[in-house]
Amino acid sequence: MEHSKITMEKIVSLAKTRGFVFPGSDIYGGLANSWDYGPLGVELKNNIKQTWWKMFVQERLDMVGIDAALIMNPKVWEASGHVATFSDPLVECKTCHERYRADQIDLGAPCVKCGNKGTFTDPASFNLMMKTWLGPKEDASAVAYFRPETAQAMFVDFPNVITSSRKRVPFGMAQIGKAFRNEITPGNFIFRTREFEQMEIEYFVHPSDWEKFFEEWLANMYKFMDRVGIDAARSHNLEVAKDELAHYSKRTVDIEFDYPFGRKELYGLAYRTDFDLSTHAKYSGSNIVYTDPMTNEKYVPHVIEPSFGVDRTLLAVLLSAYDEETVASEEGEGDTRVVLRFKKEIAPIKIAILPLSKKEELSNVARPIAEALAKYWRVDYDETQSIGKRYRRQDEIGTPYCVTVDFESLEDKAVTIRDRDTMKQERVPIAELEVWFKKQF
Ligand code: GAP
């Protein structure tokens, strides 16, 4: 379907009713821009993360993973420049005191909240680091920060990883985990939140090789997007202008996506030079120098950083997968079918087992099938409502295959498999189901 017709209202409503994502702390009236991933959301998110980890860590000999502490020594954030410079320009309406990011609103226009014009304060720098205190004292000596990116641990852990893993440059480290930013204006569902998840890679190269690896990683990012089903036609590269580069970057390309609320950042790819390893060496007093075992050349490796947001991936995947089509319904009349056309690898439920009726003779056959297949794939078992409605529900949550157990199954020991995309049905012997599905996934 034409993607301009896919609205955020449709996605947010489907996400809530089907249990992908719903407002956090909902029964207490929610908490501004906090979202919980429900039973299907957590499966989808896990599948996205597993695909990423498989593709960028397990399938490569030049990559290793880490899982670092979320709260790091505060000196890390002084060295990285976050304490001094990780900020956005903030303005406040002098009438209603609503706060905005100065670069996201028209300062000449009236305040969106109270409607008064020309009442904004001058922009002030607002640090986005999420602060806390470690231990029983709430004073300056106990201040710590929730990490605003997963990246820094991979620089700080560089000496331990290189000696324990015996990797040689070029090689990379990967990490998936939560990050926190005290965003001034979070919004657009899970696009910008204060608590989110990142999947980041720091790829260490010889300084003279950075351009080659930059291009290689840009291509790899698109391969990942294809693998999880992000629409390439809606994705674009933005070469970040020199005067807008982050303090650590010599070159950044943002991959942007056409969301219903506009073309905005999905991922970032940065050439971070030796900025991070060198500043951590300076601030910590450690000697972070790599010696090439073949040439004995000593140098500080340079870094290419592909950075992926998990939540934005999930949003782009939902938007890319969403489809509506008019079909003759299984119950006879014309019908609009909502389908999430997920790639099989990331679909939250792979197979739905649907006995035609709740009668015990059918569940006696259907349940053991569900239990046997659940050893390999995420399976849903649903025996209520008409079969047509159950097919529609599975289409809406993107289940690639439905298995219907009917009264004939008692005789012919076979079931009907329905394909989500083609809606074609095939009769398959129960004894062959496992082999049949192994060919599909
Ligand atoms: N280590 C580099 C870094 O963190 P970034 O562009 O600030 O770069 C990387 O963030 C990615 O993290 C973004 O491309 C986006 O996918 C995701 N991200 C950043 N801020 C976010 C937020 N407030 N909510 C959700 N995702 C966010």
Annotated binding-site residue? 194 = yes
Q: Residue 141: give the domain boundaries.
A: 3-86+128-318
Annotated binding-site residue? 307 = yes
Sign (positive or negative) of CA dihedral 57, 63, 68, 73 = negative
Strand (E) or helix (H) holding 175: strand 171-180
Digit-coded pLDDT (tens) for 145-185: 999 999 999 999 999 999 999 899 999 999 999 999 999 98
Instruction: Tell me: pLDDT of 299 over 70.
Output: yes
Annotated binding-site residue? 183 = yes
Does residue 309 have its Cβ closer than 6 Å to ligand 1?
Answer: yes
The Cα–Cα gap between 88 and 148 comes to 14
Least confident of 51-60, 83-92, 255-264: 83-92
User: CATH number of the domain that 406 lies in?
Assistant: 3.40.50.800
371 and 239 share one domain: no
pLDDT band at 336 (very low <50, low <70, confident <90, very high): confident
Q: Which of 337, 341, 350, 360 is nearest to 417 (CA)?
A: 350
Annotated binding-site residue? 198 = yes
Average pLDDT value for the chain: 95
Residue 97 lies in a domain: no
Residue 112 lies in a domain: no
Q: Which of 427, 380, 421 is nearest to 406 (CA)?
A: 427
Does residue 267 have its Cβ closer than 6 Å to ligand 1?
Answer: yes
Residue type, 85: T
310 and 388 share one domain: no
What's the domain count of the chain? Answer: 2
Residue 337 lies in a domain: no
Residue 91 lies in a domain: no
Digit-coded pLDDT (tens) for 357-416: 999 999 999 999 999 999 999 999 999 999 999 999 999 999 999 999 999 999 999 999
The Cα–Cα gap between 441 and 312 comes to 25
Residue 204 lies in a domain: yes
Does residue 183 have its Cβ closer than 6 Å to ligand 1?
Answer: yes
Which is the closest atom of ligand 1 to the Cα of 190? 25
Task: Kindly give, in sequence order, each residue whose CB lies less than 8 Å from that of residue 183, ignoring residues fewer than 6 positions away.
Answer: 88, 128, 192, 193, 194
How far, in Å, from the CA of 312 to the mean position of ligand 1? 9
